[in-house]
């Protein structure tokens, strides 16, 4: 079988880790970085392109893995699809309209694409367990904890977890009223009756607790990503899988048959 040629969009913390993981994976070859804000011309002996069209015109690629920001990802995906390159997207904070557009575009072109707000298998299992528990409890809160450089809140994982939990139920969760919120925002952001709390601290990577409560009992699910390497097996699996897809798939749970 011929090697899968991979462009890495984003030369930040995740992008560099992805390049190393792709280089180490059998049958995958990193061929370039793509990053509009990067001033270096090469990173780890790979060429760096600043324009997506220029990159895909110059480099023969099968897949582009994107860990950048939500402003850039739609521009990247439009260019990738025009060049018959399959996007694997880990960037978070993407608007739902973009995902709808990507689903339509990939279906029309019959080309694979994959988007996941979390590539760590432990996080995907935590979301799956939270979804299972959701119909047995009327009260739930999510505490997500991330490093202090994270641009969006809540995390994509927290929002996806809440959406999955809500999809299992007829009614929203019960959000207990707080008569006096002395410090505004203390009760977190409310989403379908679930209070979501975002903690940002140096020293953290990515962590989440989902706490369910009922009379006389609670259930706490906790997941910790100790380093960015935790995402790499999921990214490599997605790069391999997207080659066999003919439309957009969202979520590692679907690739792993957990849905
Ligand atoms: N899905 C997951 O499992 C997962 C895991 C970790 C991080 N993430 C997400 O991945 C993204 C990147 O995280 P990171 O820690 O590598 O961040 P980072 O800040 O280290 O890197 C971001 C990269 O994107 C590039 N970039 C930013 N704006 C751009 C633009 N307008 N055009 C082109 N390039 C642009 C920057 O130059 C930088 O190289 C974030 O959205 C983060 O939430 C997702």
pLDDT digit string, tens, across residues 24-54 = 999 999 999 999 999 999 999 999 999 999 9
Which residues belong to the active site? 146, 150
Percent of the chain with pLDDT over 70: 100
pLDDT digit string, tens, across residues 64-88 = 999 999 999 999 999 999 999 999 9
**What's the confidence (pLDDT) of residue 211?**
98
pTM, whole model, 2 decimals? Answer: 0.89
pLDDT above 80 for 164: yes
pLDDT digit string, tens, across residues 200-244 = 999 999 999 999 999 999 999 999 999 999 999 999 999 999 999
Q: Is 229 in the pocket of ligand 1 (CB under 6 A)?
A: no
C-alpha 49 – ligand 1 centre gap (Å)? 16
Q: Is 79 in the pocket of ligand 1 (CB under 6 A)?
A: no
C-alpha 119 – ligand 1 centre gap (Å)? 14
List the Cα angle 151/157/163 in 5-degree steps: 120
For residue 89, give both structure tokens. Answer: 């997207």
**Among the atoms of ligand 1, which is closest to the Cα of residue 71?**
31
C-alpha 15 – ligand 1 centre gap (Å)? 7
pLDDT above 90 for 259: no
pLDDT above 80 for 198: yes
State how far the Cα of 205 lies from the Cα of 142, in Å rounded to an integer: 17
Q: Is 12 in the pocket of ligand 1 (CB under 6 A)?
A: yes
**What's the confidence (pLDDT) of residue 1?**
74
Closest CA to 195 of 175, 211, 217: 175
Q: In this structure, which residue's CA is closest to atom 2 in ligand 1? A: 118
Helix axes 232-242, 121-133, angle to 10 degrees: 90
């Amino acid at each position: 079988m011929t090697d899968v040629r991979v462009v890495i969009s984003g030369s930040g913390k995740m992008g560099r880790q992805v390049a190393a993981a792709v280089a180490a994976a059998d049958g995958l070859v990193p061929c370039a970085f793509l990053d509009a804000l990067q001033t270096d011309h090469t990173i780890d002996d790979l060429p760096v392109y600043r324009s997506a069209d220029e990159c895909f015109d110059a480099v023969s690629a099968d897949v582009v893995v994107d860990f950048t920001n939500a402003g850039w990802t739609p521009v990247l995906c439009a260019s990738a699809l025009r060049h018959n390159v399959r996007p694997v997207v880990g960037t978070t904070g993407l608007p739902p309209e973009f995902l709808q557009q990507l689903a339509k575009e990939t279906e029309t072109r019959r080309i694979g694409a994959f988007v996941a707000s979390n590539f760590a298998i432990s996080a995907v299992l935590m979301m799956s367990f939270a979804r299972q528990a959701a119909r047995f409890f009327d009260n739930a809160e999510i505490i997500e904890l991330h490093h202090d450089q994270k641009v969006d809140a809540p995390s994509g994982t927290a929002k996806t977890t809440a959406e999955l939990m809500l999809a299992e139920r007829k009614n929203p969760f019960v959000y207990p009223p707080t008569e006096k919120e002395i410090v505004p925002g203390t009760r977190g952001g409310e989403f379908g009756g679930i209070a979501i709390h975002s903690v940002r601290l140096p020293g953290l990577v990515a962590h989440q607790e989902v706490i369910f409560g009922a009379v006389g009992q609670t259930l706490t699910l906790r997941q910790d990503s100790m380093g960015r390497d935790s995402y790499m097996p999921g990214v490599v699996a997605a790069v391999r899988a997207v080659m066999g897809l003919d439309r957009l798939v969202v979520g590692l749970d679907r690739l792993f048959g957990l849905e």
